[in-house]
Amino acid sequence: MSASTPVDEPVNDPVDGPAAPAGDPLARERSHLTASRAALRAMREDVEALDIRDVTANWVNAEVLQHQIEERIKALADLSDTPLFFGRLDYLHAPGAERAEGAQGERFYIGRRHVHDADGDPMVIDWRAPVSQPFYRASKKDPMDVGLRRRFGYTGGDLTAYEDEHLSDPAEAATTSKLLQQEIERPRVGPMRDIVATIQPEQDEIVRSGLSGSVCVQGGPGTGKTAVGLHRVAYLLYAHRERLARTGTLVVGPNRSFLHYIEQVLPALGELAVAQATVDDLVAHVEVRGTDDATAATVKGDARMAEVLRRALYSHVTMPTEPVVVVRGSRRWRVPAYELEELVEQLLDRDIRYGAAREALPQRIAHAVLVQMERAGEAPDDRVQDAVARNAAVKAAVKAVWPAVDPAKLVLRLLSDAEFLAEHAEGLLDEQEQKAILWAKPARSVKAAKWSAADTVLIDEAADLIRRTPSLGHVVLDEAQDLSPMQYRAVGRRCTTGSATVLGDLAQGTTPWATRSWEEALSHLGKPDAVVEELTAGFRVPTDVITYASRLLPHIAPGLTPVASIRENPGFFEVRRSSGPADVIAACRELLTREGSVGLIAADPRIPELTDALASAGLPHVAPGEETTESTRLTLVPASLAKGLEYDYVLLDEPQAVVDAEPDERTGLRRLYVTLTRAVSGLIITHAAPLPSQLT
Ligand SMILES: Nc1ncnc2c1ncn2[C@@H]1O[C@H](COP(=O)(O)OP(=O)(O)OP(=O)(O)O)[C@@H](O)[C@H]1O
């Protein structure tokens, strides 16, 4: 494989014009790039020139259409520093055609979006199209009818190199791609970027798995879980555009800074309409102003709470003791209590929400009245039934038997009223557990209550018992290992009729309720049939660093496969004794002499001291999620926010303090594992206190 390999004569080349220089392959490819850019510009100009004044009769339609046009123009932007295509496939036969002898092959350029020329012939094929798949999957063993796979190398926006693999040539040995390796090793600056040019076969299988099935990916730090999840959404939107445009897609991440870090990836792939949220955002029914201790939060997050809530809600339904008497004109119609009871029983037996049943009850009672009317020789129609359903006596009966319940008030009562809680938690939560979740001081109102994050999840569960939560078409759940069973339920109810991609690492679970097994988590999510895949090739962390961090694995997640780094660049790794903040600052300065981003990660309680030290040293820095610039490449990262992020160089301050900042040792070691695995090119550890024994 080499950039100087001559290009085969084009096999049925529909795209290169006769003007392309024949002898110089790189020049030919460059001229295809220039032509593709011109074609993309023409596509954009066509859209810009659209005049919608004549086609839309009203201004609402015009607004909608104009918005769509603007989105399309944005999607067709030619970003000068992102290559328009990054690969080429020369098929031996035209895809889909009979592979008869003499049948002509076909050539495709693979890029971020589809580009066609004035005749509608493709110049660049979207990486998600079926014909692009062999770019990611074909191998010497299974060439997938591909004669040549070519990868392109860019410097800025310029095409500067290419690399060929003759997949169907038995004489050519399989090698690893230099361009691929370079792309993987490229220094990180700014937010996360897409990996379309270098998706690996095992990643591609997950990216392209079907919309109907849910997938769960277990993978150690830096194995590309987040990248895979985001590319999967992009793929699904391509393959099922209409359906998902109707039902919606959502990416759920652990916190704002993480969402900020990943927010550019999908727009860069032309997908602008994917919602992003934290779990807290999804369940923001009330303002969060309180916190729970670990015990209370664990009980509140336990799946048994769902049953407690269900019981508490349905305790509001009482059996009627009085008949309903409806007066219409000179007549009185009486539905006896036993008949009302039957109606209530029927509704309780049906699998419908509390609120829906409450809305159905007046109609059922009215129907019973209508039956009596018919028996008496009257011929009432639907309007009469509606009128009876709205009758004051019927309304009063429904209010008594099946009262409206406010979800927040229901949770408020459970957490304030020991007797009410005891009644509905009986056989589910023991006395200690009940005590743990009861508020020390009962709240007077929903507004006055100091709700915690776990409480809002309970309110969400109650709200769903009353009214069904609308389901999206697909939900990607990242850093899933930290969710409580009740949080899994909250996410799951947002994809009941859709599917999910669950991404996580059991070894990085740092909540007291962290996921112990994916099977269990998936059942709480309502997707027990999801396939669990494992990724073990590491794209981020250099070998020496991941080997060091993996010393913790037997203590934090025995049985998990350690990550095998595929980075060739060994990076550097140093553990240093420090005698105070001055040494930390010196190490920061040292790392800042190198190219790329620098993260100073420290236990949360140490952040104020380090902030001061950085300020007095005159070293500017940003917080996680804030944009770094050429002059400010340093981010000060509290250990609790490090999850999911990465920096070229990491300075980890006081590992033992990271462990000590957590409520128990196992959680502390897991937090340490997260912080040790954020570096792409190098890690320095500074410590005054002894290192945790598990590392030495
Ligand atoms: N196929 C690939 N080609 C190039 N880079 C890749 C590839 N897969 C992943 N990466 C890069 O490796 C880094 C780690 O990926 P990512 O953040 O998705 O890993 P993760 O498994 O989610 O990690 P963590 O467990 O720490 O959250 C990212 O910079 C990502 O772009």
Taking alpha carbons only, the member of 338, 401, 326, 403 closest to residue 367 is 326
Tokens of 246: 């109707």
* H/E segment holding residue 168: none
What is the whole-number distance in angstroms between the Cα of residue 533 and the centre of ligand 1?
16
Query: Is residue 563 a contact partner of residue 223, using CB atoms and an 8 Å limit?
Result: yes
Residue 569 vs residue 426, higher pLDDT? 426
Based on DSSP, count helices (H) and strands (E) in the chain, helices before strands. 28, 21
Ligand 1 pocket at CB < 6 A: 183-184, 195, 198-200, 203, 219, 221-227, 505, 508, 539-540, 644, 646, 677
pLDDT for 128: 96
C-alpha 144 chain-centroid distance:
32
Q: Name the range with the highest mean pLDDT among 83-87, 207-211, 653-657.
A: 653-657
Position 14 pLDDT exceeds 50: no
- Indicate the annotated binding residues for ATP: 219-226
What is the biggest distance separating any 2 CA atoms in the chain, rounded to whole angstroms? 102
Position 675 pLDDT exceeds 80: yes
Taking alpha carbons only, the member of 120, 111, 94 closest to residue 11 is 94
Which atom, in ligand 1's list, is nearest to the CA of 203? 1
Write down the mean pLDDT value for the chain. 90
pLDDT for 182: 85
pLDDT for 149: 95
Percent over 70 (pLDDT), the chain? 94
To test the pocket of ligand 1, the residue of 646, 670, 675, 677 to mutate (highest count of ligand atoms within 8 Å of its CB) is 646
Beta strands per DSSP E along 435-535 = 474-477, 499-504, 531-535
Candidates 1.10.240.10, 3.40.50.300, 3.20.20.70, 3.30.70.1380; CATH matching 560-695: 3.40.50.300
pLDDT, tens digit (0-9, with 9 covering 90-100), for 592-631: 999 889 999 999 999 999 999 999 999 999 999 888 888 8
Q: Of all protein residues, whose CA lies closest to atom 18 belonging to ligand 1? A: 224
Residue 294 CA to residue 436 CA, distance in Å, equals 10
Position 286 pLDDT exceeds 50: yes
pLDDT for 4: 30
Residue 695 vs residue 48, higher pLDDT? 695
pLDDT, tens digit (0-9, with 9 covering 90-100), for 471-499: 999 999 999 999 999 999 999 999 999 99
Backbone angles phi, psi at 432, to 5 degrees: -60, -45
C-alpha 321 chain-centroid distance:
51
pLDDT for 56: 61
Percent over 90 (pLDDT), the chain? 74
Bridge-based pairing state of the strands 275-278 and 249-253? parallel
pLDDT, tens digit (0-9, with 9 covering 90-100), for 175-206: 778 888 888 887 766 778 889 999 999 999 99
pLDDT for 102: 60
ipTM over 0.85: yes
Position 8 pLDDT exceeds 50: no
CA separation (Å) from 70 to 45, 374, 593? Answer: 12, 60, 42
pLDDT for 100: 62
Q: Of all protein residues, whose CA lies closest to atom 23 belonging to ligand 1? A: 222
Per-residue pLDDT band for 396 (boundaries 50, 70, 90) equals very high
pLDDT for 105: 86
Q: Which residues pair with 146 in a beta bridge?
A: 91
Per-residue pLDDT band for 307 (boundaries 50, 70, 90) equals very high
pLDDT for 587: 96
Tokens of 435: 């005590």
Structural Rg of the chain based on CA atoms: 31
Side chain identity at residue 672, one-letter code: L
Candidates 1.20.120.1780, 3.40.50.300, 3.40.1190.20, 3.40.50.1970; CATH matching 212-303+407-539: 3.40.50.300
pLDDT, tens digit (0-9, with 9 covering 90-100), for 370-395: 999 999 998 888 899 999 999 999 99
CA separation (Å) from 449 to 29, 181, 452? Answer: 65, 55, 9
Position 36 pLDDT exceeds 90: yes
Q: Name the range with the highest mean pLDDT among 93-97, 182-186, 261-265.
A: 261-265
Q: Which residues pair with 162 in a beta bridge?
A: 152
Q: Give the domain ranges of the chain.
A: 25-175, 212-303+407-539, 324-401, 560-695
To test the pocket of ligand 1, the residue of 226, 252, 675 to mutate (highest count of ligand atoms within 8 Å of its CB) is 226
pLDDT for 57: 64
Q: What is the 3-state secondary structure (H, E, C) of 239-255?
A: HCHHHHHHHCEEEEECC
Query: Is residue 567 a contact partner of residue 691, using CB atoms and an 8 Å limit?
Result: no
Bridge-based pairing state of the strands 679-687 and 499-504? unpaired
Side chain identity at residue 253, one-letter code: G
- Indicate the annotated binding residues: 219-226
pLDDT for 98: 64
Residue 559 CA to residue 506 CA, distance in Å, equals 10
Position 540 pLDDT exceeds 80: yes
Which atom, in ligand 1's list, is nearest to the CA of 539? 12
Q: Of all protein residues, whose CA lies closest to atom 5 belonging to ligand 1? A: 184
pTM score of the predicted model: 0.90
What is the whole-number distance in angstroms between the Cα of residue 444 and the centre of ligand 1?
48
Q: Which residues pair with 576 in a beta bridge?
A: 686
pLDDT for 22: 57
pLDDT for 52: 67
